[in-house]
Amino acid sequence: MKILIYTHAFAPRVGGVETHTMLLAQGLAKSLKQWGKENVTVVTSAPADGFDDPGLPFRLVRRPNLATIWHLVGSTDLIHLAGPALLPLILGLLRRKPVVVEHHGFQAVCPNGQLFYEPLQVQCPGHFMAGRHRECFHCNASRGIASSFKLWLLTFLRRWLCYRVSANIAPTSWLAGLLQLPNTSVIHHGLAGNI
């Protein structure tokens, strides 16, 4: 089985998504290698910045162009997205590949992806999901009208595409409840150990 993992955030950047994606790729590579297969590829837009890419137990493709992503999507059996990244999500569905979206944030329910209502500097009560879209425009007004409209429109697109994937994954029941997407499973993040 060939698995493609796509993530915007990856090493050498440090954070939760970066760490979780690294652990997932390492675990899958080790598991598949036991069966004589080395078929895990991680694709990221993150630059290497001196990171030891060749020392990883999986293939890593950084900053690919559209043609490369199209080829990688076409040559894989399963696509795992660390967040609803639009380009690989669209290409995966166009190529009729099983796509799994692991939601680490709020990009499918909030135009700014933070679930944070900027004018009042408080947690957003869920204006987008409640249909209070004027509040979404007001929240992102500092970015300009065109940018605010683009963020709002892309949130609809992400949700629509996430309705069509094979599975949605949330690390907590709370996030799964906020997302309200079909085919959602809660899979808690593990801890590093003997993989």
Query: Is the whole model's pTM more than 0.95, yes or no?
Result: no
Give domain status of residue 147, yes or no: no
How is the beta sheet containing 78-82 ordered, strand by strand? 59-62, 40-44, 3-7, 78-82, 99-102, 167-170, 184-186
Q: How many domains does the chain have?
A: 1
Query: Can you give the pLDDT at residue 38?
Result: 66
Give domain status of residue 53, yes or no: yes
User: Does residue 45 contact residue 81 with C-beta atoms inside 8 Å?
Assistant: no
User: Does residue 7 contact residue 89 with C-beta atoms inside 8 Å?
Assistant: no
102-152 pLDDT, tens digit per residue, is 999 999 999 999 999 998 999 999 999 999 999 999 999 999 999 999 999
Lowest model confidence (mean pLDDT) among 7-11, 82-86, 175-179, 186-190: 186-190
Flag whether pLDDT at 36 surpasses 60: no
Query: Can you give the pLDDT at residue 33?
Result: 80
Give domain status of residue 174, yes or no: no
Give domain status of residue 86, yes or no: yes
How many Cβ atoms sit within 10 Å of the Cβ of residue 176?
Answer: 18
Cis peptide before 125 (omega within 30 of 0): no
User: Does residue 43 contact residue 5 with C-beta atoms inside 8 Å?
Assistant: yes
Give domain status of residue 66, yes or no: yes
52-84 pLDDT, tens digit per residue, is 999 999 999 999 999 999 999 999 999 999 999
If you search the block for the tokens 């009729």, which residue do you land on?
96
CATH number at residue 54: 3.40.50.1220
Give domain status of residue 146, yes or no: no
Report the alpha-carbon distance of residue 18 to residue 122 in Å, rounded: 26
Give domain status of residue 169, yes or no: no
In degrees and rounded to multiples of 5, residue 23 shows phi and psi of -65, -40
Torsion sign over Cα 20, 26, 28, 31: negative
Percent of the chain with pLDDT over 90: 90
Flag whether pLDDT at 194 surpasses 60: no
Query: Can you give the pLDDT at residue 182?
Result: 97
Contacts of 1 (CB under 8 A, 6+ apart): 32, 37, 39, 77, 78
Domain with 44 in it: 1-102
Report which of residues 172 and 38 the model is more confident about. 172
Q: What is the mean pLDDT of residues 154-170?
A: 98
Report the alpha-carbon distance of residue 75 to residue 4 in Å, rounded: 9
Report the alpha-carbon distance of residue 142 to residue 118 in Å, rounded: 9
Give domain status of residue 39, yes or no: yes
Please report which confidence band the pLDDT of residue 190 belongs to, taking 50, 70 and 90 as the band edges: confident
